[in-house]
Structure 1
Amino acid sequence: MKPTESEMEILQVLWEKGESSVRQVHEELNKKDVGYTATLKLMQIMLDKGIVSRDTSAKTHLYKAILSKEHTQHTFLDKMINTVYNGSTARLVMQALGNKRTSKEEIELIKEYLNTL
């Protein structure tokens, strides 16, 4: 199952904050002018799709991400490498490093990582 862009925004909140109510997620998303009912509806759809779970034992229902951040990132990255970069990881890395937003610290971390491979 592949979350939509809007669902990814909700997952990012749940991964960062942990189990949260619709109101808590909405408050984080509200910085982007998202309506409460839109957040609620989207989280209900995500529940139906099996992307999140819901604890209804208290008055305020709490939602939790079922998909792990790592699994989701891996799935999206694989799809992007295959569709945008024709299966070439090297092209993806060169494009990412060539965008001039990579800090010196990040480049050093990448070098260390490559040396361990």
Structure 2
Amino acid sequence: MSEQLRELTRAEEEIMQVLWDKGKAYVKDIIEVLSEPKPAYNTVSTIVRILQQKGFVGHHAFGKTHQYFPIISKEEYRKFVTTKLMSGYFGNSVGNMVSFFVKEKKVDLKEVDELMKILEDLKKK
């Protein structure tokens, strides 16, 4: 994982989700997928360039047109965000995090049972 990895803004993350799903895209392709109201072309272009400066996105130039692609994988970013969430809000405790989600009714008991099965399977390895 990149030592320079930083959390994305909501708009940046929305564009990264499109690039992770598509693999590569032009700005117009990104706009097509975004929900209404569609942002302006220049807005999306600016956000993509910011993502490029942050090291999340690369591009291939075709004349004056650029095709963008993710450099940071979705899995790499997920690990970064999860680690930040765990350390910042749950004292690096999976138990505290699961307990929170159960109390907030974001995870039901069936899902907790599934988590327990996964953990038991991991212990056997």
State TM-score, norm by structure 1: 0.82
CA distance in 1, matches of 2:10, 2:49: 16
- Distance change >3 Å, CA 101–CA 84, structure 1 → 2: closer
- Distance change >3 Å, CA 83–CA 108, structure 1 → 2: same
| Larger Rg, first or second structure (1 or 2) | 2
Partner of 1:75: 80
Partner of 2:120: 115
Partner of 1:39: 44
Find the residue that maps to 2:96 and give its secondary structure: helix
CA distance in 2, matches of 1:78, 1:45: 23
Over the aligned positions, Cα root-mean-square deviation in angstroms equals 2.3
Find the residue that maps to 2:72 and give its secondary structure: coil
Partner of 2:90: 85
CA distance in 2, matches of 1:82, 1:93: 14
CA distance in 1, matches of 2:109, 2:21: 26
More helix by share: 1
Partner of 2:13: 8
- Distance change >3 Å, CA 105–CA 61, structure 1 → 2: farther
Structure 1 unaligned segments of length 5 or more: list them: none
| Matched positions, count | 117
| Residue 26, structure 1, aligned to residue 31, structure 2 | yes
Shift of 1:68: 1.0
Find the residue that maps to 1:50 and give its secondary structure: coil
- Distance change >3 Å, CA 92–CA 104, structure 1 → 2: closer
- Select the residue among 96, 99, 102 that pairs with 1:94: 99
State TM-score, norm by structure 2: 0.78
Find the residue that maps to 2:34 and give its secondary structure: helix
